[in-house]
Amino acid sequence: MRFLLGLALALALTCPPAWGQAKEYVVVSGGPALRKWEKSKERTHDVFWGNFVESALIRLGELKSKAGPGDQIAWLVFKPSYVARSREERQDLTAVVQAKANAIGVALFWFDTTDQLINYFNRGKDRTQLPIGSLDYFGHSNKVNWMFDYSNDIDGCSTIFFHTRDLSRVEGSAFAADAEAKSWGCHSGEYYSQKFFDTTGVKMWGAVGKTDYSRGGLPILSTEGGRWTQ
C-alpha cells in the first residue's frame, strides 16, 4: 500500500493537472488593399492601411492581461500586402508593425503563404506542451475564405487565402481542449466557423453579414440584422 501511495505521489508531482497547462494565444492579421484599386469605388476598402493591425493590437492587449505563467502570445501577420502598401504610403510599414509588436511585448511572426500559417498552427511550437488556447483572425473574409491579400495583388480578388477546403490540414490536437476562436472578418459565421468546428473540434465565432473596421477599435457588425454566431 505504501508503495502504491508513493507511486501516486510521484505521478502527481511529475504530471501536473491539464488545467494548469500553459497555452499559446494566436492572433492573425491579414493585409490591406491597395488604394490604386479602391480609391475610385463607391464603397472603398482599407482607406487606413492599419485596420487589421490596430484591431489586432487591442485583442493582443486583452490577451496579455489574461495570460498566465508560461503562456505565450504570437502575432502572425501576412507580410506581402504590407510590403506592397508600403510603396503607396512611402514608408516601411513592416518596420511600423514590428515596432508596435515590440512596444507591447508580443512575438511577431510574418507569413507569406497559407502553408506557412498552417504549419505554425500545427508545429510552430510543441503542441503537446503548448497548445493553442485561442485564435483570432482580423482581415478580409467571406463565408468560405480568409482572404489575406484581398484587392492588393488583383483588384477585388485574393490569390493567397485560407479556404474551408484547407481546414482539414489543421490538426485539432494543436488546440487546447477549451480553446476559443473568433473570425472578425465578414460573413465567417455563414459557413467558415461551422466548418472550422467540424474539422478541428474548436468552436469559432463568426459574423453573419459584414463587419466594419473603419471606426477604429474592434470591428463591429455593419449589416442590418447581422449577428455573431458559432
Three-state secondary structure of the chain: CHHHHHHHHHHHHHCCCHHHCCCEEEEEECCCCCHHHHCCCCCCCCCCCCHHHHHHHHHHHHHHHHCCCCCEEEEEEEHHHHHHHHHHHCCCHHHHHHHHHHHHCCEEEEECCHHHHHHHHHHCCCCCCCCEEEEEEECEECCCEEECCCCCCCCCCCCCEEEHHHHHHCCHHHEEEEEEEEECCCCHHHCHHHHHHHHHCCCEEEEECCEECCCCCCCEECCCCCEEEC
Give the model's pLDDT for residue 167.
Answer: 98
What is this structure's pTM? 0.91
Ordered by start, the domain boundaries in the chain are 20-229
Give the model's pLDDT for residue 4.
Answer: 43
Give the model's pLDDT for residue 42.
Answer: 79
Give the model's pLDDT for residue 43.
Answer: 83
Give the model's pLDDT for residue 9.
Answer: 40
Give the model's pLDDT for residue 3.
Answer: 43
20-229 CATH? 3.40.50
Give the model's pLDDT for residue 184.
Answer: 98
Encode the chain (230 residues) as per-residue pLDDT tens digits.
444 444 444 444 444 444 579 999 999 999 999 999 999 887 889 999 999 999 999 999 999 999 999 999 999 999 999 999 999 999 999 999 999 999 999 999 999 999 999 999 999 999 999 999 999 999 999 999 999 999 999 999 999 999 999 999 999 999 999 999 999 999 999 999 999 999 999 999 999 999 999 988 999 999 999 999 99
